[in-house]
Every structure is written in C-alpha cells, then in structure tokens.
Amino acid sequence: MQGNYEVIRDRTASGSVLQTNRVLRNTYALLALSMVPTVLGALVGIQLNFSFLAGSPFMAFLLFLGVAWGFMWGIEKNKNSGIGVALLLAFTFFMGLMLSRILQVALGFSNGGSLIAMAAGGTGAIFFALAGVASTTKRDLSGLGKFLFAGLILVFVAILANIFFQIPALSLAISAICVVLFSAYILFDINRIVQGGETNYVTATLAVYLDIYNVFVSLLHLLMAFTGERD
C-alpha cells in the first residue's frame, strides 16, 4: 500500500513538473512572437508620426488605460482559446503604436539609434538575468506580490500627479523606480510560473510582456535624459 502511494505521489510530482515546464516554454515562445507585432506597431507609428491625443495628456492617459484594460479583460476572458492569443497579439501591436511616440522623441537625438539599442540591450540583459534566477531558485517569491502591487499603486498615483505638475525630476524618479519595480516583477512573474502558481501561458505571457515593456520604456527615458545628444 505504501509503495503504491509513493508511485502515485511520484507520478503526480512528475506531471506537475512537466506542466510547469510546458507553461514556461509556451510563455517564452509566445513572448518572442509578441515582439513581432510590437515592432510592427512601432514602425507604423513612426511612419505615420502617430500621436495619441498629444494636446491633452490627461485624456490621452485615460483613453490609453481604457483601451489597454479592455484588451487585458478580453485576453483574460479568452485565455483558454485561440481568441486569447489573437487578442494578445493585437494588444502588443497597439502597445507598439504607443511605443512609437517615445521612439520618435529618441530619434530626435543625434545618438537616438544608440539610445534605443542600449535600452533594448539593457532590457534584454535584465530579463535574461532575472528569468535565470527566478527559474533556478528554490524559493517561492510569491510573498513579494503585495509589496510590488503597493509599489505599482504608488507609481500610478505619481504618474497621474505628474501629468498635471510636469516636474522633470519627478518624471526621472518615476522612470528609475519603474526600472526597479518591473525588474522585480519579472523575477516574481517567472518564479510564479516555476512554482506552479500560474498555469495559463497566455496570462503568463501578458504579465511578463508588460514587465519587459515598462522596463524598456523607463530605461529609454533615463538614457535620453542623461546621455541624449542634440545636434
């Protein structure tokens, strides 16, 4: 009887590991695929000189949140079907369009291409390093969730405030905090998959994509502020 119990337990553990590996593998594959519409959206936005209600930053921010949350609601609602994947890819195209604005500003610097490359390289280095740690550590980092969420709320409030006050120093502080915060979210979200806390790769991909996106944008903003060169 004891032997049968151990066999069942071993098979259950083995099945859990296989499922976790499958979710992680599918997450990385879909994450890589999601970069294609992001790049396409950014290129289209740059070519069209895309601007999202540039004359009204507050309304633009609210509209962006509405569209983004609508996409995320639809993705989560359809995460177990192909529709969820399609919505995720459409969302990443939209985020690419939104990204085009800061890319246009970066390209206005004489070293704009280098700044974008440095931000992309830095983001990649942060992701691979933290994903490696999150995948190999035996610790469950789920306890970080409450602290990270509290940090996210504070950043959100600071962003709203700075839309009205337009304080350059606060904007830089927000970007610096976002690099740290969303880097920690990469660690948290990948570890959550490894620990079996997230079993749907569409939801997992959305979370990690947003982490990477925010790290890149924040890094680029900091690089433009400190190393951007005007003609």
pLDDT digits (tens, 9 = 90+) for 85-103: 999 999 999 999 999 999 9
Can you tell me the distance from the alpha carbon of 42 to that of 94, in angstroms, rounded to the nearest whole number?
A: 9
- Please state the pTM of the whole predicted model: 0.90
Residue ranges of the chain with per-residue pLDDT less than 70? 1-16, 52-55, 231
Q: How far is CA 205 from CA 4, 86, 130, in A?
A: 38, 13, 16
> Can you tell me whether residue 207 is helix, strand or coil?
helix
In a domain, 90, yes or no: no
Whether 43 is in a domain gets the answer no
pLDDT at 55: 64
39 lies in some domain: no
Can you give the pLDDT at residue 13?
44
Region at 200 (left for phi over 0; alpha for psi -120 to 50; beta for the rest): beta
Q: What pLDDT sits at residue 59?
A: 84
* Domain assignment present for 57: no
The model's pLDDT over 1-30, given as tens digits with 9 standing for 90+, comes to 545 544 444 444 444 678 788 999 999 999
Mean pLDDT of the chain: 89
Structural domains counted in the chain:
1
- Does 17 map to a domain? yes
Provide the residue range defining the domain that includes 16: 2-34+99-227
Residue 47 lies in a domain: no
